[in-house]
């Protein structure tokens, strides 16, 4: 929702907050909040000529310096990175709904 759109158009996040006077409802992460923290620390994506998902090599190196990261965590972080990069491009569409169910 915070992806930059073409031109001077505000982000979808800013449009939502301006229209509703409150941030959009976010899903409850429950026991996965640990993974959300790791995802943020991992960098979420790689930036080269373009933004791309973290590679397994990136995540393996990350697991060497971050205590408690398992092989299963690396697999999940990779999937989260792939999804994050895909939704960055979708987020540029003003009509794109948030990628979670509002219920």
Report the percent of the chain where pLDDT is more than 90.
38
Choose between 14 and 92: higher pLDDT: 14
Listed range (24-28, 43-47, 66-70, 89-93) with the worst mean pLDDT? 89-93
pLDDT of residue 91: 66
Which residues, other chains included, contact 21 with Cβ-Cβ below 8 Å and sequence gap of 6+? none
pTM equals: 0.67
Domain spans in the chain, listed from the N-terminal domain onward: 31-90
């Amino acid at each position: 929702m915070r992806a930059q759109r073409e031109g001077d158009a505000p982000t979808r996040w800013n449009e939502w907050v301006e229209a509703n006077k409150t941030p959009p409802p976010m899903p409850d992460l429950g026991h996965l909040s640990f993974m959300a923290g790791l995802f943020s620390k991992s960098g979420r994506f790689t930036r080269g000529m373009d933004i791309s998902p973290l590679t397994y090599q990136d995540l393996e190196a990350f697991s060497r310096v971050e205590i408690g990261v398992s092989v299963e965590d690396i697999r999940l972080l990779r999937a989260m990175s792939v999804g994050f990069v895909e939704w960055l491009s979708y987020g540029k569409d003003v009509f794109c709904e948030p990628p979670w169910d509002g219920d």
